[in-house]
A and B are shown apart, each in its own frame.
Chain A
Amino acid sequence: MMRTHDKASKLIFEYSHPGRGATDQWPQPLPATATSDLPQRLLRTKPPLLPEVGELEAVRHFTRLSQLNFSIDTHFYPLGSCTMKYNPKACNQYAMLPEFLGRHPLAPESHGQGFLACMYELQEMLKEVTGMQGVALSPMAGAHGEFAGVAMIRAYHRSRGDLARNEIIVPEAAHGTNPATATMCGCIVREIPVNDEGDIELDALRAAVGPNTAGIMLTNPSTLGVFERRIEEVARIVHTAGGLLYYDGANLNAILGKVRPGDMGFDVIHMNLHKTFSTPHGGGGPGAGAVGVSARLRPFLPIPIVGLEEGHRYRWLAEKDLPQSIGRLSGFMGNAGVLLRAYIYMRMLGREGMSQVGEYATLNANYLLTRLKQAGFDAAYPSRRASHEFIITLKRQARELDVTTMDFAKRLLDHGIHAPTTYFPLLVPECLLIEPTETESKDVLDAFVAAMTQIQQEAEQEPERVTSAPHTMPVRRLDDVRAAKQLDLRWKPTA
């Protein structure tokens, strides 16, 4: 698997020649008088360091760069908790119709009824699949939705004069964003343990709740890849203590069409549309973190929201309509283009497709877990069903063979498979969190088992082959310590 990475590693600036450029893209030059009304003291004197390259050079450079990436379109990506499923091409194509792309965010509603209809119906469909009473689309990522959710919980307690409630409870296996979000909202975080089977310790929860409890943040199925079986009891304990339940929607794919967070007793939920509803991850964004709420939190939803008047006219609901709102979280209405892609995906799947997602994601995960167990790997929670994902622990391999999870992950790259999530959740040592998603075929899952089996054999017979992996990537393992100590964050021309 040789690649042309020698050329690709050249920076775009290193192709630059003064006077060259993609001139067909530029406006005609204007006489200096065109800008002579701008005061000299406010003007730039030295041009910025941007490349001067022809269009073809740029196209080749960025095409080559793209080829250095793994992606869903090219590789299996069983990244736990990230739901790397196929991003249908139709979602991209129809979200990029020229009228949608050209529409200004402040265009009047008369020139947005088509777009607003899509957003309104998206709100309605998200309510239905989550069992919530209200939905806002503006948060721009999962963590942004989390922020909105916790801010609503705080606003709710404050509106009742319940000012002491500033503690957010999170299980120790929670995503790092959960405690970070609670802090951003001015809350204090209390972590509670889970038991050997992955369920929350109810006694610890009972001891943790009280008059200071603002709420609890949960993922269900949890980040341990198992369903919290006593969720109704958890809800009862928290609600009785006066707290609210927050659902981290990172793992919604597992239960789509099977169970609804609203029915489990959750008061607020964020959805990662870039996971469950298949909008692209784009190399790290954009995402979309729509939030759903129960009736009592509806007045606090972030604005704007799309409303429907007289059954046929859509309009934005803003400050005047929702005076208790936690406010605006984006300059306009959030990641509209991402929301359109999620809308198209949901309309294509329809109600029957929704439950197939949960079913086949779960089938694939349980099949892969069973095959890996049969191949001799250790499940972290062997007595439990997998949800849409599961954890393998390589503790034994690390101890007996001195080959770690990181080594397995890097060696998988040589097999053309993106590494699963490694070392998360933190409480399972040497773990791989594996999420195949419903869009992968049995053949791909079998190939994954074959690759893992082969790596295990290598680890036993020729461990340095694994511990020095990857061998076929554009680069080998990188010096992260040097990266953080000798900071090189931008290119500088050599004099």
Chain B
Amino acid sequence: MAFIPHTPADVEAMLATIGVSSIEQLFDEIPASLRVKSLDRVPVGLNEMQIGRLMSERARADGRPLCYIGAGAYEHHIPAAVWALTTRGEFYSAYTPYQAEASQGTLQLIYEYQTMMASLTGMDVSNASLYDGASAVAEGSLMAVRANRKSKSLRILVPRTVNPQYRRVAVATAGNQGLRFEDVAYTPDGGVTPLDALKKYDSEDVTAIVIQQPNFFGQLEDVDALTDWAHAKGTFVIAVVNPTSLALLKPPGEWGSSGKGADIVVGDGQPLGVPLSSGGPYFGFMTTRMEYVRQMPGRIVGRTVDVSGRAGFTLTLQAREQHIRRAKATSNICTNQGLLVTAATIYMSLMGPVGLERTAAASHASANDLVSALTAVKGVRRAFAGPFFHESVLLFDRPVGPILTSLANRGILGGLDLSELYPELGYALLVCATETKTKSDIESYVTALSEAAAAVRAA
């Protein structure tokens, strides 16, 4: 049951070689008082047929609703080739590529990934990935503290238009090292961060500002003006971006009027071929300018040559990392989300610049259609004016919770209720549509919403 191949004869021969009479004897250095008596709360084992049946039942219980939730995780078409290749045992069951000669496949793939991510974000260099988008914001903030030598304050501005979970993760991760994360208000009519709200920091030492584009509401920030404000006072810009949107939107490397761009770019790579999967595994990406590469956390792959002069790939700049630097490392991180990077690299290769741009445009168009259709329903309107990418905040004339429950009963997940995260917005719902939603899907939502609204009114 435990995938152990030993025959009784093998065991006997092995014990004889060791010179003990039983496997039990191999544990004789462990105090007897500590030995486990039983593991009653672990059920008895299941064979593959039984576990297959159990998991299929569990999966069926969750169903396959039509999903209009975004908020940091986005449903996109994933070509069959992506996971057919990614789950090949040679990728799936390989270790971290420390033995470069036996890991050229993974290493070359990461080098290709770094090239793609650097170009997509308009930056010089990329690392080999971090845990997820939220932890990448935390690591980006810590990196800004190391790299921005002009600043001593450890203060990071996080506008309220940044994904609130990202802020929470940054606080939990970096708070112990003295970093302070401070809110910046958004405009009530536009749902974006105004320069006015930054005025009070004009003469203060601020290490970095986090700018999310598109922001958590789906709205587009005035990234050039915000970047100029930051750079004029020596504050770093940490850009948080959706990689799909970058096929359409200006890359952070070009933000600001000077063309200098953001200093650190992070985000969640999930939209690039990674399934929603209840929240993970995803991967966080991070790119930066060459001058800060030694302050960047996580693995980095470089191209070099072997002793015969042939090109090859290896992990490099390892002097930054925990297994060398121990207590002085840039981070305790010793993982990258290698398998997800594999999926994303294959996805980006299949989509190419044209396919990715079409995906972004189709998602935008789909979200526009959705918002138009839903705001035609009585009692529903947009919360904010101005352009959005593929999600948007809608305001209702009554609490959103019961409507969502009613929709869910009809097989539709209508969006994210914002009443807890942004109570000041009133009855607000964040909705998302991507290229996966057809016109008839959107009609289904509108029909169900009309019914649900009627049902809630009647109740």
Contact = CB atoms under 8 A, between A and B. Distances in A.
A94 B51 contact: yes
Contacts of A58: 81, 346, 349-350
B356 interface: yes
Given A350-B44, A442-B6, A48 B109 contact: no
Interface string B138-154: 00000000000000000
B68 to A, nearest CB: 9
Contacts of B361: 27, 30, 34-35
Interface in B139-186: 163, 165-166, 168-169, 171-173, 176-178
B69 A107 contact: yes
B306 A477 contact: yes
A53 B35 CA distance: 59
A69 B172 contact: no
A329 B171 CA distance: 9
A348 B1 contact: yes
A179 B322 CA distance: 8
B416 interface: yes
A296 interface: no
A363 B15 CA distance: 8
A489 B304 contact: no
A267 B300 CA distance: 35
Interface string A344-388: 101111111111110110111011001100100000000011000
B447 interface: no
Interface in A392-444: 409-410, 413, 418-419, 424, 438-442
Interface in A9-55: 9, 11-13, 20-23, 25-30, 34-35, 37-39, 41-45, 47-53, 55
Contacts of B248: 35, 38, 43-44
A329 B134 CA distance: 8
Chain A, interface size category, equals: 35 or more
Contacts of B246: 44, 48
B276 interface: yes
B429 to A, nearest CB: 12
Interface in A84-132: 84-88, 90, 92-108, 110-115, 117-118, 124-125, 127-129
Contacts of A140: 131-132, 135, 280-281, 335
B307 A477 contact: yes
Contacts of A491: 111-112, 115
Interface residues of B, number: 199
Given A327-B168, A484-B302, A98 B64 contact: yes
Closest 4 CB pairs of A and B: A350-B45, A332-B279, A73-B89, A282-B339
A180 interface: yes
Interface in B91-135: 91-97, 99-106, 108-109, 111-112, 114-116, 118-120, 124-126, 128-129, 131-135
Contact of A99 (B59, B176, B326): B59
Interface string B21-32: 001001111110
Interface in B44-83: 44-48, 51-52, 54-65, 67, 69, 71-73, 75, 77, 79, 81, 83
B52 A94 contact: yes
24 contacts: A9-B104, A26-B355, A48-B247, A73-B90, A93-B52, A96-B83, A104-B69, A105-B276, A111-B413, A112-B278, A117-B58, A141-B334, A227-B30, A331-B132, A335-B281, A350-B42, A350-B44, A352-B1, A353-B1, A413-B101, A438-B4, A442-B13, A482-B305, A489-B301
B194 to A, nearest CB: 16
Interface stretch (A203-211, A452-460, A467-475): A467-475
Contacts of B65: 107, 111
Interface stretch (B200-208, B229-237, B310-318, B375-383): B310-318
A381 B336 CA distance: 34
B338 interface: yes
Contacts of B419: none
Contacts of B71: 106
B425 interface: no
A53 to B, nearest CB: 6
Given A50-B348, A118-B58, A331-B282, A59 B81 contact: yes
A473 to B, nearest CB: 4
B198 interface: no
B187 interface: no
A239 B250 CA distance: 56
B370 interface: no
A465 interface: no
Contact of A102 (B61, B275, B282, B327): B275
Given A44-B249, A101-B275, A478 B335 contact: no
Contact of B304 (A258, A346, A480): A480
A26 B87 CA distance: 23
B191 interface: no
B58 A27 contact: no
A454 B14 CA distance: 22
A184 B332 contact: yes
Contact of B27 (A362, A370, A371): A362
A29 B355 CA distance: 9
Contacts of A157: none
A84 B2 CA distance: 14
A323 interface: no
A87 B279 CA distance: 22
Given A86-B3, A101-B276, A363-B26, 10 more contacts: A28-B362, A39-B220, A55-B79, A105-B276, A281-B95, A281-B338, A283-B106, A356-B1, A357-B2, A370-B18
Given A182-B327, A263-B34, A336-B279, A282 B5 contact: no
Contacts of A85: 3
A418 to B, nearest CB: 6
A305 to B, nearest CB: 14
Given A176-B326, A348-B51, A282 B305 contact: no
B278 A332 contact: yes
B310 to A, nearest CB: 6
B251 interface: yes
B38 interface: yes
Contact of A257 (B18, B36, B111, B116): B36
Nearest to A64: B105
Nearest to B284: A331
Contacts of B45: 347-353
B336 A285 contact: yes
A64 B105 CA distance: 8
A114 B92 contact: no
A247 B43 CA distance: 25
A183 interface: yes
A236 to B, nearest CB: 13
Contacts of B304: 478-480, 482-483, 486, 488
B165 A37 contact: no
A260 interface: yes
